[in-house]
C-alpha cells in the first residue's frame, strides 16, 4: 500500500449517497482510485455498482458526497454538478454495459464519435469543408484507425457496425474510449457476453490500455476470474454500502465479502 501514498489520486469518491424514493442505492460510499491503477468495483447483483458509475459520470446527480477527479489539465476538479456532456473533455470516458454503437455507421465512424469534443470546426466550416474541417477529419480518422489497430480490428474499419459480432462491438467501444484521450476509463461489465478466449484477450487489452496509453481503469465486472486477474485493488460493495477495499487476495479472504456473496462466488472462478 505504501506506493499508493506516493501516487496521485485519479478519482476520489467521498461520502457518496443517492436514493431513489426510499431506496438508498448508494449509501455513504468512499473510495479512491490512484493513477495508472486497474481498480475493480464488485458486489452482488443490485449492489449499486452501475449507479456509482452513473453518479461519477453525472448521469445521476448524487444527493450527497463528492467526486474529485484529476483532470487532463492537471487540476483536481469536482465532477458533481457538471453537465454530462462536459465530463469527457476532462479526460473521463466510459463504456456501456449493453454496447452502445450506431449500427448504420462503419466501425471507424463509431470510433470517431469518441473524438467528438476534439473537433473544433464549426458547422459552417464542415458544410463547406473548409481547410480546418478537412484537416481535423483527416487527423482524427488516422487516430481512430490507430485505436482500431491497437484493438486488432482495423481490418473491419469500413464495415457497418450492424451485423458485427458482439466481441468486435465491445472492442469498438474501447477504441472509441481511447480516441477521447482519456485519463480514466470506466468500464461497465466489459466481459459481459464474451466467451472465455475473448475474455482472455480483453484482460490483455485492458492492461495494454494502462501500460501503453497510460490511463487509469475503473471497472465493474461479474467475471471474478477477470477481476481477480487484472485488478491492482478492488472495492466491494453491497446494497450501496462499502464492504471492503484492498488487493484481490485481501478481498477474497474478507469475511464480509464472502457473506455478501453467500458462497455464490467466493472469490474463485465461477
Q: Is 86 in the site for other proteins (CB under 8 A)?
A: yes
CB of 163 to other proteins, least distance (A): 14
Give the nearer residue to other proteins in terms of CB position, either 42 or 87.
87
CA 261 – CA 231 distance, rounded (Å):
19
3-state helix/strand/coil string of 11-22: EEEEEEEEEECC
CB 88 within 8 A of CB 27: no
Torsion of CA 233, 236, 240, 241, to 10 degrees: -100
State in angstroms the smallest separation of the CB of 117 from other proteins: 4
**Between residue 230 and residue 259, which ones bind other proteins under the rule CB under 8 A?**
none
Binding mask 159-178 for other proteins (x = CB under 8 A): -----------------x--
Cα dihedral 143→147→150→154 (10° resolution): -90
Query: Which region among 13-21, 67-75, 96-104, 223-231 touches other proteins (by CB under 8 A)?
Result: 96-104
**For residue 155, what is its C-alpha cell?**
481490418
Binding residue (CB under 8 A) for other proteins from 56, 79, 121, 220:
121
By CB under 8 A, how many residues form the interface with other proteins? Answer: 37
Interaction of residue 105 with other proteins, rule CB under 8 A: yes
187 touches other proteins (CB under 8 A): no
Whole-Å CA distances, 135 to 119, 123, 132, 138, 219: 10, 15, 5, 5, 35
Q: Which of 251, 253, 230, 247 is nearest to 3 (CA)?
A: 247
Rule CB under 8 A: is residue 100 a binding residue for other proteins?
yes
The footprint of other proteins on residues 19-48 (CB under 8 A) is none
Total count of residues recorded for the chain: 270
Residues that bind other proteins (CB under 8 A): 57, 59, 83-89, 93-94, 96, 100-105, 109, 112-117, 119, 121, 123, 126-129, 133, 136-137, 176, 180
Amino acid at each position: 500500500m505504501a506506493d499508493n501514498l506516493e501516487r496521485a489520486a485519479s478519482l476520489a469518491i467521498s461520502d457518496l449517497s443517492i436514493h431513489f424514493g426510499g431506496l438508498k442505492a448508494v449509501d455513504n460510499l468512499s473510495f479512491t482510485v490512484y493513477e495508472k491503477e486497474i481498480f475493480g468495483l464488485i458486489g452482488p447483483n443490485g449492489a449499486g455498482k452501475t449507479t456509482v458509475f452513473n453518479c461519477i459520470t453525472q448521469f445521476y446527480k448524487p444527493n450527497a458526497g463528492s467526486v474529485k477527479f484529476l483532470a487532463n489539465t492537471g487540476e483536481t476538479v469536482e465532477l458533481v454538478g457538471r453537465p454530462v456532456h462536459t465530463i469527457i473533455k476532462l479526460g473521463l470516458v466510459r463504456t456501456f454495459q449493453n454496447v452502445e454503437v450506431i449500427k448504420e455507421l462503419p466501425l471507424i465512424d463509431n470510433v470517431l464519435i469518441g473524438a467528438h469534443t476534439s473537433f473544433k470546426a464549426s458547422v459552417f466550416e464542415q458544410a463547406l469543408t473548409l481547410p480546418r474541417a478537412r484537416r481535423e477529419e483527416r487527423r482524427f480518422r488516422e487516430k481512430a484507425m490507430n485505436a482500431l489497430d491497437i484493438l486488432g480490428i482495423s481490418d473491419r474499419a469500413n464495415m457497418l457496425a450492424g451485423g458485427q459480432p458482439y466481441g468486435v462491438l465491445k472492442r469498438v467501444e474501447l477504441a472509441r474510449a481511447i480516441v477521447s484521450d482519456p485519463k480514466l476509463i470506466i468500464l461497465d461489465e466489459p466481459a459481459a457476453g464474451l466467451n472465455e478466449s475473448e475474455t482472455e484477450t480483453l484482460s490483455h487489452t485492458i492492461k495494454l490500455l494502462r501500460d501503453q496509453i497510460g490511463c487509469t481503469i475503473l471497472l465493474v465486472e461479474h467475471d471474478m476470474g477477470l477481476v481477480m486477474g487484472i485488478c491492482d485493488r478492488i472495492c466491494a460493495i453491497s446494497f450501496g454500502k462499502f464492504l471492503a477495499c484492498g488487493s484481490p487476495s485481501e478481498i477474497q479472504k474478507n469475511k464480509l465479502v464472502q457473506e455478501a456473496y453467500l458462497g455464490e462466488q467466493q472469490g474463485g472462478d465461477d
